Amino acid sequence: MAFSEDSLRDRLTRHLAASLDAAHVALLMAEIERLGLVPAVTALVQELEDLSPKAARAVIEALPELHRRAGLDDLSSWLDLAVGMAESSGASALKYAKESPLLLGLISSRDDRVRVLTMGLELAERDPGMTLEFLRVAPELVGLMPHEQMVKWVDHGLELSDVNYVLGGEFFRESPKIAKIMEVEDLRSWTGLGLKLVTINQFGKPDYMATLEFFRTTPALLEEISAATARRLTVRMAGALAEQDPQLAVEVLAEAPALLQQIPIDWQPRMLQYGLLVAERDAIVAQAYLRRCASLAGLIGADDRAWKVFEDWFKSGMEVLAYSVEGARAYFSLETSKALVALEEAQNGVPLRQVARSLTLFAQALCGKAVRVEPLPDEAAEPHTSGQKAKTRARATVSPDGRTIFVPPVMRREADREANRRAYVVMVAHEAGHLEFGTYDLDLAELGELVETVAARYGRSSRIAKSTPHTLADFFALYPQPGVIRDLWTILEDARVEARLRAEYPGLRAELDAAAKAALSLRSLTHGMSVRELVLDALLLTSSGLSDVMIPDAIQEAVTECWSLGRSVLAEQVTAADVLRIIDQVYVRMDERLSAAALPSSEAPENRSQENSTEQMAGGPQASEVLTETYQPIDNWHYRGGMQPEFIGAGGQQANESSKGAQLVPQEDEAGGREAGTASRRSADGRLREVARAEQDLSGRQAAPDRSADELVALEDQRRPRWEPGPDEAGTYQYDEWDGMIRDYRARWCLVREQRQTSEDADFVEAVLNEHGAAIRVLRRYFEGIRPPALRQVRGQSHGDDVDLDAAVALRADLAAGTDPSDRLYIRRDRRDRSVAVAFLVDLSGSTGRQIAADGRRVIDVEKAGLVLLCEALEAIGDQYALYGFSGRGRQDVEFVVLKDFEEESRSRVAGRIGAVQPMHQNRDGAAIRHAAAKLTATDARVQLLVLISDGRPLDDHYAEDYAIEDTKMALREATAKGIVPFCITVDREAEGYLRRMYGDVRYVVIDEVKGLPERLPRVYHRLTA
């Protein structure tokens, strides 16, 4: 039945009037009629009324708001979508009517509104709930992507809703955040990664909570990655990782933004492409790779050469990955020596540890003191200087006690390795020169007159009356500008020391000149300097002896006058104390010159008022000291270290006292002291020869090895386990650990915590002595019998202490027979020492607590009894010995218990400590062996023995079976390579199966009957040392 236009208008008017006031009805009808929409709108309203009167009423009530916000041009499409929603869900239609006018009003383009409504209608046919979610985010999506991409986006959301309704809704809700940082082409990778996080709950149903959290949190994470390509590759890499380990993939995704921020933007895509290659092989390796990329980029810089360094390091890692996944995990974590060497060899820099020994010998030969060369502490080590603003380079320095020269841990300032080696030589030579030529031996007490003069000149007499300056820092504080006088001292003291180095060691002249020229080429321009700073900078240039130094005309005269005084520091007889007198003269002259230049002629010093003169007499600053800006210290040549006036001034005594509680690294052992002590007695000519030899060792110029040989040296250096202080506390030491599976060391893997046994148990010792009294007496007599005499007679010598009577009789016989007699008529008495040092290393693991006898005795009780008897024997023979126990709880807590060190004398207390030992935790043999070997090598004995006493195979956290056996075997090999003779004793009856493999070529014995250990142990020791 057809309706006329008037009747349709009347019907629509009645529909509207049922819910709206007359004014709104009139306004809406006029607009609908103008647009020619009366028939279509009437039909749709009626259809909606038939489906849901409540929804129809809500739609009509929303018409005025729709008209006001978006207009009624698209009213038919809007109503059509309302009908589609009502067909599936009246509740959804009600929400649509309430929310859609505002949402459509946010879309400015009518074409976009039509497209959104059309897509909404298609969605409504499948899922009205998703339609609402889509409409709520549509205003934002319209501005983020073209229509074609939005269609794909919506289709993807519908696919997710088919998997799980809640997931689809969450996807649409998060769509604006996702669309800002992701192309639609990458959407499937991202949602696929999220779906891999779905788990099965206790009821056997899928649990989507992790996926929902992934949808909510990852957009914000990815937004922190600024480059779109890097974001895309990060998601792809995480997706590849999720195939193996979804949880690890999420960890990588969470870490990626912070890690990538440390990597140059143009490097990020290439690094991530490489990461995809790694991720296809192993997820854990890929995570280690990405983590290391960030720190590596900060280490090597961001230029073309640095990228080559990175590629070489990566290729070496992929070679490891080709044969061992476990090895690659350690490699990309920089846990292995191979990784460290590959990195170092890829760089042109020279790691200090490769040349530390040669540099130490060089420094000792140069200054004749017990010094060593160590890396600067981490907080002072040279930072990476890439970026817009380079940080200050770390400078070499001498420790407060004058026994250590600290230099950067890696030298990479020059373009090639040889140049960097030479840079180390110059740096160490400069600091050793300060030690040799007395910079740190200065005694202010000898400069009392100068101190009083300076104090009086600047009105500081009252200060020194209260507190006499004890350090150079105190002395400099007497001047109006301490920074200026400190820089003057630095310039002229450095000049004095370098002049002496050039004179004493001609071979260093060319190196020092080259270093100064290189430093000059790197110096920054002097724009923005004050006049005073310009003068000091010019003095630095002039004092270096460079011929092509340009001095600005404005300060030429002042610089010439100051240098005419300062150049006297170059004379051979000038001391560190003389330099202080000279810098005081230069300071005064510079002050006068700059004061005169700063004042008009009418205010020259001689015409000043009496008031000003009085002020000067009272200690007020000179005119030139009245500055409106802070004085900026000069930037000294980079190869020169930073001297510390705070520790100089008491003739070397204050430094020693001040440093007792602030020592940067442990003191050198006695061996180092003896070697340096010998050096201090050498003649100057002998020291020159040693310097020359040390320089040849460092430079390699005498017989330059090829690159492969140099790499072998670096690898060998890596294989020598380091005995390094631990990171946090005294008494801790870091060691490498051998991983047989990857055929490489895990660098600095174990932390040994050395602790001294303090408790004692005299009752246990007394019981042992009573039980084994007869055996002890026999042992003491036997070992006293084999103790060598203090002196032995050597007959038939050409000179000696006594006449050899047998030789004298033979002489008379030869003379009587007319034959030529021998002149060897004397006896010489030679000292015949038994030079043996032995370290006993006892397993204190929990397994030693097992009972082995009916009387309750345990393995550890028998071990302790054996040690008590052994001590009696060792005291009788007089050998150096130490007793150590070991246990542990993981690689970061290897306990090393000192029962007796080599230098201890008190036998009774040692026995008491042995008696108090109890079973502890587990046993990480390799680290304990390495630490005991390090302590053994510090002795001066010709024969060094290491005796390991254990009740079974090594076992610790992640340290068992093949891994533990291979590490223990390697630790024993390392000890043998150091000249130590290892010997192993085990009380494990079932040990034969693994002992041959673990101990290899090292001698060992299995004591089947544990109770026989006490009396067999001394006999075993005698056979070892006979």
Residue type, 212: L
Q: What is the mean pLDDT of each run of 10 residues along the chain (1026 residues)?
A: 68 89 91 90 90 91 91 90 87 90 90 89 82 89 88 87 86 88 84 85 86 87 87 89 88 89 87 92 90 76 73 86 83 71 63 84 85 74 38 72 86 76 88 89 86 87 70 89 90 90 86 79 62 85 76 84 90 90 91 68 40 37 44 81 82 47 37 36 43 47 34 37 49 88 82 89 81 72 57 69 80 79 73 74 85 73 80 75 90 91 78 85 92 90 87 84 89 90 77 71 69 65 68
The fold for domain 762-785+834-1025 equals Rossmann fold (3.40.50)
Q: Which long-range contacts (CB under 8 A, 24 or more apart) does 447-451 make?
A: 447/577, 447/580, 447/581, 450/580, 450/581, 450/584, 451/475, 451/478
Report how far residue 932's alpha carbon sits from residue 918's, in angstroms, rounded to the nearest whole number: 20
Q: Which long-range contacts (CB under 8 A, 24 or more apart) does 193-199 make?
A: 193/235, 193/238, 193/239, 193/242, 193/246, 193/249, 193/253, 194/218, 195/163, 196/242, 196/243, 196/246, 196/249, 197/242, 197/246, 197/247, 197/250
Question: Going by C-beta distance under 8 Å and a sequence separation of 6 or more, which residues neighbour residue 109?
Answer: 142
Q: What is the pLDDT of residue 274?
A: 92
Cβ–Cβ under 8 Å, residues 292 and 332: yes
**In this structure, how many other beta carbons lie within 10 angstroms of the beta carbon of residue 1019?**
12
Q: What is the pLDDT of residue 936?
A: 92
Report how far residue 469's alpha carbon sits from residue 463's, in angstroms, rounded to the nearest whole number: 9
- Which of 948, 955, 952, 949 has the alpha carbon at shortest distance from 993? 952
The tokens for 176 are: 């604006």
Residue type, 133: E
Question: Going by C-beta distance under 8 Å and a sequence separation of 6 or more, which residues neighbour residue 1001?
Answer: 976
Q: What is the pLDDT of residue 924?
A: 92
- Burial of 991: CB neighbours in 10 Å, binned 0-12, 13-18, 19+: buried
Report the half-sphere exposure of 303 (CA within 13 A, side-chain side): 6
Cβ–Cβ under 8 Å, residues 971 and 982: no
Three-class DSSP category at 105: helix
Q: Which parts of 136-256 are beta strand (E)?
A: 199-200, 206-207
Report how far residue 904's alpha carbon sits from residue 882's, in angstroms, rounded to the nearest whole number: 8
Per-domain boundaries in the chain: 230-347, 350-384+391-419+655-719, 443-650, 762-785+834-1025, 791-831
Report the half-sphere exposure of 507 (CA within 13 A, side-chain side): 16
Report how far residue 334's alpha carbon sits from residue 343's, in angstroms, rounded to the nearest whole number: 9
Lookup result for tokens 């004298």: 808
Q: What is the pLDDT of residue 1013?
A: 60
Lookup result for tokens 């509740």: 91
Q: What is the pLDDT of residue 329?
A: 84
| Helix %, strand %, coil % of the chain (to 5) | 60, 10, 30
Query: How many residues are given for the chain?
Result: 1026
The tokens for 85 are: 């929603």
Q: What is the dihedral of CA 126, 130, 136, 138, to 10 degrees?
A: -60
Report CA-CA distances (Å) from 160 to 166, 316, 868, 943, 977: 9, 43, 76, 76, 65
Task: Produce one character per residue of 78-97: b if its CB has 16 or more CB atoms within 10 Å, e if not.
Answer: bbbbbbbbbbbbbebbbbbb
Residue type, 994: Y
Report how far residue 356's alpha carbon sits from residue 367's, in angstroms, rounded to the nearest whole number: 16
Give me the phi and psi of 135, to 5 degrees please: -60, -35
Q: How far is CA 767 from the centre of its chain?
A: 51
Q: What is the pLDDT of residue 934?
A: 92
Report how far residue 110's alpha carbon sits from residue 500's, in angstroms, rounded to the nearest whole number: 88
pTM of the model: 0.49
Question: How do strand 880-888 and strand 836-843 relate by DSSP bridges?
Answer: parallel
The tokens for 734 are: 């870091």
Q: What is the pLDDT of residue 340?
A: 66
